[in-house]
Structure 1
C-alpha cells in the first residue's frame, strides 16, 4: 500500500512539473524565408523605402574579407515594450493650429502601423515644463490640501491630443507621466524654475498630487501605465526643475510616493527613477536599488542622452552596467532630442544618425522602451516659455500649415514601425565597426534586424543566420531594416 501511494505521488508531482513547463518558441528557420529590405539613405529619395526582396542561400563559413551581420534568433534577451515620444503642451498647441487634414496626416504619420511609424509609447508633463507657453500647476497658490486641484488647463490642448493618439494606438498603448517641478509654494526657492528642492513638510502633499493627477486623467478615459519620480533631478534649469540627491529621491519614494500610490490602489503603476542622463546612472541605481524598501516600489530606471553637454561621448556602456547589476529592473530611455533649433538644419542627416546610433546601442544594452521628446514643434522650435528651442522629428510651419519631416522621423521609424510590443531582442553582431546592428524577434515569429552604415562608402554585407545568408548592399550613411 505504501509503495502504491508513493507511486501515485510521483505521478502527481511529475504531471504538475510538466504543466508548469514553459512552451518554448519554435527555433527560427530560414527555410523559404525572404528578406525584405527597407532603406533610408542620405543624399537620396529613399525614406523607409522598400529596396529589395532577397532569398537566403548557403554560406557555411564567411571569409575574413566578407562583411557580415551575425544573428542568432534563438538567443533572446529583454522583452520590448515600445517606442514613442512626448505629448507636451507645445506639441498639443502646435497640433491645434493645423487644419483638420494636416492633423489627420500627423496622427497617421506617428501612430498608424500602415501609414506611419506605429508609435505606442507616450509621455506627458505633470504641471508645466519648458515646452509649455507659461508656468502652471493644477492647484491654487498655498493649497497644501489640494482642495482646488483641477486639470482644466490640460483639457484645452494636451488631453484632446493624447486621446486622439491613444484612439489610434489602441490596446498596445503605454502612457506615463513626469513632473518637472512641484508648485512654487512647496519648494525652498519659492519658484518652479531654477532648481530648488521640495520642502520636507510638503512631501506627503506632493505624493498626493501624483494620485490626484493620475485619477483625473483616468476619469478622462486616459489609462496611466506609469510615472517617473522627477524629470532630471540633478539639473538646475532656467525652466521648471527640482533637485533630488540620490538619497532624497530614494527616501521620498520609499516613505511617501510608493506607499501613497499603494494606498490609493495604484500599486500597479510602474515607477521609474532617475529620468536623467547616463553619466550618473549607476550612482542613482546603486543608491535607490540597494535599499530593499525603496527597491520594491521601483519598476525601472529612466535615462536621457544629454551627458555629452560636457564635451564627452555618449555613455551607452553605463546602461549595460546597470542592466548587469540589476537585471530584474527595467531600463527605459525617457527623453532625447536634438538641441539648439536651426531651421537651416531641418534635413541635417546627422540629426537622424544620432537617433539611430543611440537606439541601437541602448537596445543592445538592455533597454526595453525608448521615448523621444516633443512629437511636434513649430517653425521656431517651440513654443517654449524660456526660449529653449529644439528639434522634433516633425515640425509644423504654422504660417503655411505644412508639416516638415526630418531625418530623425525616418531613423526612429526604422525601429518603431517593425519591432512590436512583446518582441524579444536576439543576438546580433557586426564583423566591421562601420556597421551597427540590433535584432528583435516579434511574437509572430518575424525577425527584424536594423543595420546602420556609419561610413561614407557603400558596403556589401551578408546577413548570416547559422549557415544561411543573404547579401545586402547598404548605401553610405544609410539605415536599413531587414524583415524576414
Structure 2
C-alpha cells in the first residue's frame, strides 16, 4: 500500500507532506477496519455570505481568485458542501428580503436582485473552479417583517395566515436560483428557531409549529411543484433541545415523510460535541442526514497574521460571559484549532455526515456585520491593503474537505491512546483517509495497522494529520 502523510501543526506545518518524522517514546497503536462501516459522507465546506462575497469584490482579482481557488480548486481544500442565507443575516451589509412588498401574498414582486452584485458571482466563480462541484444548503434567518407577529426583523413568529406564502417563498427562491444556473441541494426550515435573543435576524418556531409548516405547507408545496430539494429540520445547537426536536419531527409520520434530515450547530459548548445527543438523533432517523450546518469562532475579533493565537487557549465565545450560570462550565476558554479538529472528528464519529463552517472570508474586524456580531473565519482579508491571511483554521478544514470526499463511508478504527483523536473514511475511489489529532505538547509515534499490514510514523505535538492510503492491495 502507498501512504502519504500531511500535517498542520503549531510548529509551522501547513498541510505539509511529511517525509521525515520526529522520534517519540510515546507509542500509539491505531487499527483501521474497512469492513466496519457507518454513515456515507455528504461533504465538508463553508458558507457563502453577503459579507464574504462583498469582501471578495473589494480585493484585486488576483487575490479574489486566489481565495476561491484555495477553497474550491483541485490544489485547495476542495469544498464539497456549502450553505447560504436566504434574505439577510447578521453577516449582511443591511436588512433585506426578496419579498419586500407588504401584503404581496402571491409574491409577485419576489426578486433575488439583492444577491446579484456579490453572492451570485461568488457562487458562480466557485462553480467554475470546482471540478467535482458542491452542494448548497439554503437557510432563512427570518421571513420579511410584514409576515410576522412583531413586524420586526428580529424575533417574533410567522403569522399562520402567511404559512402558505412563506412556503411559496421557498419555491420561488429555488426557481430563481435555478434560472441563474445554481441548484439548491437542501433547505433548512429556519436558522436557529429557538432564537438569538433578538440580536439580529431571527424567527421563532416550536417543534410543533415547524412540523405544521413542513407537513401542511412547505413539503406539499415543493412536492406539488416537483422540486427536487431536501428539507432539514431544527438547525440549532446539539444540546438537549436536539432530543426534543427530533422526537417531535420523527414521531409525527405525516411530518417525518418530508424531512430528509436534521441540521445542527456547535454553539452549545466550546469543547463538548454532545455525542449522546447525536447518537440519539441518529437513532430516531438512521436513514436520514445529520449535518452540522454552522460553526465559527464567535464573539472574537480575528487575530491578524498571528498563527500562534489560533493554537493558544485564548478564545472565548458568547457563553463565556452570557451563558446561564448552570451552563457556564460548557463555555470555557479554548484553542481555536483544537475546537475545530475535536468537533469535526467527534461529530463524524457520532453519525454526522456533513460539516459546514460559517463565513469563508471576513475582514480584520470580523465583519462586515450590520449587528456588530464579530467572528473569525478561516481566511481574513484587509481590503484596503489588498492582503490575505490564511489562518490555521483554513488548513484544519482542508484536512477533512480535501481528503474525505462525498460518497466516502466512515469506517471503524481502534487506538490505544485516549488523548489522541482518530477518524477514518474510505473514499469512492477506494482510498482511505485517516485523520489524527494530537492536542498534547509532545510528539507521538504511531503504528498504523490496516489489513494485516502496518506502517510507522509520528505526529507532532499540537498537530493534525491526514494519512492517505492508496493501492491497498500492494
Same fold (TM over 0.5): yes
How far residue 241 of structure 1 moved from its aligned partner, in angstroms, is: 0.2
Listed one character per residue, the Cα deviations across residues 149-183 of structure 1 (whole Å, up to 9, x for unaligned) are 11111111100101111222245321121000000
Secondary structure of the residue aligned to 2:268 is helix
- Could you say if the C-alpha distance between residues 469 and 171 of structure 1 is closer, same or farther in structure 2, counting changes exceeding 3 Å? closer
Distance 1:36 1:117 in 2: 17
Aligned residue among 43, 56, 59 for 1:95: 56
Counterpart CA distance in 1 for 2:275 and 2:389 is: 30
Distance 2:64 2:303 in 1: 24
Residue 82 of structure 2 corresponds to which residue in structure 1? 122
Matched, 1:331 2:290: yes
The within-5 A match list for 1:191-202 is: 191-193=152-154, 195-202=155-162
Distance 1:178 1:77 in 2: 27
Are residues 212 and 336 of structure 1, via their aligned partners in 2, closer, same or farther at CA, if it must alter by over 3 Å? same
Find the partner of 2:169 among 186, 196, 209.
209
Match of 1:319 in 2: 278
Deviating beyond 3 angstroms after TM superposition, the runs of 4 or more aligned structure 1 residues are: 343-346
Give the equivalent residue in structure 2 for 1:13: none
Cα shift at 1:66: 4.2
**What is the alpha-carbon distance in structure 1 between the residues aligned to residue 380 and residue 258 of structure 2?**
38
* 1:214-235 C-alpha deviation (Å, 9 max, x unpaired): 1100000101111100000002
Measured on the aligned residues, the alpha-carbon RMSD in Å equals 1.5
Q: Is the 8 A contact 1:127 1:137 kept in 2?
A: yes
Residue 261 of structure 2 contacts residue 285 of structure 2 at CA under 8 Å; is this kept in 1? no
Q: How does 1:234-273 map to 2 (within 5 A)?
A: 234-235=194-195, 236-266=197-227, 268-273=228-233
The match for 2:435 is 450
C-alpha contact 1:72 1:465 (8 A) present in aligned 2: yes
Q: Is structure 2 residue 410 aligned with structure 1 residue 425?
A: yes
Cα gap change, 1:94/1:200 in structure 2, threshold over 3 Å: closer, same or farther?
A: same
- Per the alignment, residue 29 of structure 2 pairs with 68
More displaced 10-residue stretch of structure 1: 330-339 or 74-83:
74-83
CA–CA distance in 2 between the matches of 1:284 and 1:325?
11
Q: CA deviation at 1:398?
A: 1.2
- Secondary structure of 2:430's match? coil
Structure 1: distance between partners of 2:132 and 2:466 = 25
- Give the match for residue 80 of structure 1: 41
**Map 1:379-418 → 2, pairs under 5 A:** 379-418=364-403
Q: 2:14 is paired with a residue of what secondary structure?
A: coil
Stretches of structure 2 that go unaligned for 5 or more consecutive residues are: 312-334, 470-474
Following the alignment from structure 1 to structure 2, what is the Cα–Cα distance between the partners of residues 169 and 227?
22
Superposed, 1:123-272 pairs within 5 Å as 123-142=83-102, 143-193=104-154, 195-235=155-195, 236-266=197-227, 268-272=228-232
CA-to-aligned-CA distance 1:100-134 (integer Å, 9 cap, x gap): 110111111000122x1110112111100000010
2:236 aligned partner: 276
Q: What is the CA-CA distance between 1:322 and the residue it aligns to?
A: 1.2
Q: Distance in 1 between matches of 2:340 and 2:233?
A: 23
Task: State the TM-score, normalized to the length of structure 1.
Answer: 0.88
Distance in 2, Cα, partners of 1:172 & 1:213 = 21
CA 1:84–1:209: 2 relative to 1, 3 Å:
same
| Residue number in structure 2 paired with 1:306 | 267
Equivalent pair of 2:250/2:284 in contact (CA under 8 Å): no
What is the Cα deviation at residue 34 of structure 1?
2.5
Partner of 2:6: 38
Query: Is contact 1:172–1:421 with CA below 8 Å preserved after alignment?
Result: no
Counterparts of 1:344 and 1:450, CA distance in 2: 26
| Conservation of the 8 A alpha-carbon contact between 2:264 and 2:293 | yes
Would the alpha carbon gap of residues 351 and 177 (structure 1) be closer, same or farther in structure 2, given more than 3 Å must change? same
- Determine the C-alpha separation between the residues in 1 that align with 2:42 and 2:35: 20
CA contact (8 A) 1:37 1:53 kept: no
Aligned to 1:374: 359
Check if 1:480 corresponds to 2:465: yes
Cα deviation digits, residues 294-327 of structure 1 (max 9, x gap): 0101111000000127xx8332331122112320
The Cα of 1:90 is off from its aligned counterpart by 0.3
Distance in 1 separating the partners of 2:245 and 2:194: 10
Distance, in Å, in 1 between the alignment partners of 2:222 and 2:153 is 24
